[in-house]
Amino acid sequence: MKRALTVTELIVACAIGVMLMAIGMLLFRRVTFASLSGSSQLQLQLSTRESLRRMVPLLKMATPPNSQQTAIYSPDIGLTTGNIVFCCPEDLLNPQPPPFDPRDPFYILLQIRYDPSSREVLLEDFYTPTRSNVLAYQVSDFKISRLHRIGLRLQIERQILINDSRGYPKPVKYQLSDVLQLPE
């Protein structure tokens, strides 16, 4: 005659099964959080690097209008600010600028500035701030230091919120800095 399982044995087996499922779900949540956290941090790093890559070529186009002036009007040497004012022979805000004519040069005063209210870094026409392009979004801090006459340090910091394994938002920051020397 075969012996059947008792009710106590069934309850113990179910309890062990439920505990194993709970441990499996906990491990699954942690692995999922680690994966989402890693991909969010990677996306934050890539988008921050891309933002800096958009700014550097614009600043390298800074050209003085004559030999008595410099290409950078602000900040002064040794200062750190949230904006830079520079002179450029091309209208970088116009999608189809006219070709540059060396016999009749027209220089435009542009600025790259950080707007803390919208958390954006903007490229603007200095005299007409309504003409602007967004260079970076979700920026928590942006600084430009002028090291010497043609040397700059750009520093950008971005922050995003990601949910931890318990579902609470956790801030993740990424800071990137670049030093560049402008052509003379």
Query: CA separation (Å) from 73 to 76, 123, 129, 149, 180?
Result: 7, 15, 17, 10, 16
Q: Which tens digits make up the pLDDT trace of 51-107?
A: 999 999 889 888 888 878 888 888 888 889 999 999 888 778 877 777 767 777 778
Q: Which tens digits make up the pLDDT trace of 119-130?
A: 999 999 988 888
Tokens 């803390």, residue? 116
Strand partners, 178: 154
Question: Using alpha carbons only, how large is the chain's radius of gyration in Å?
Answer: 28
Q: What local confidence, expressed as pLDDT, does residue 32 receive?
A: 82
DSSP-assigned states of every residue in 132-152: EEEEESSEEEEEEEEEETTEE
Which positions ≥6 away from 139 have C-beta within 8 Å? 51, 114, 119, 120, 121, 156, 157, 158
Q: Which tens digits make up the pLDDT trace of 12-31?
A: 999 999 999 999 998 888 88
Pull the structure tokens for residue 20. 């194993």
**Does the pLDDT value for residue 47 go beyond 80?**
yes
Which positions ≥6 away from 65 have C-beta within 8 Å? 87, 105, 107
Q: What local confidence, expressed as pLDDT, does residue 84 receive?
A: 92
Q: Which tens digits make up the pLDDT trace of 136-169?
A: 988 999 999 999 888 899 999 998 888 776 778 8
**Does the pLDDT value for residue 41 go beyond 90?**
no
Indicate the pTM of the whole model.
0.75
Which positions ≥6 away from 105 have C-beta within 8 Å? 65, 89
Domain boundaries, the chain: 36-181
Q: What local confidence, expressed as pLDDT, does residue 1 receive?
A: 65
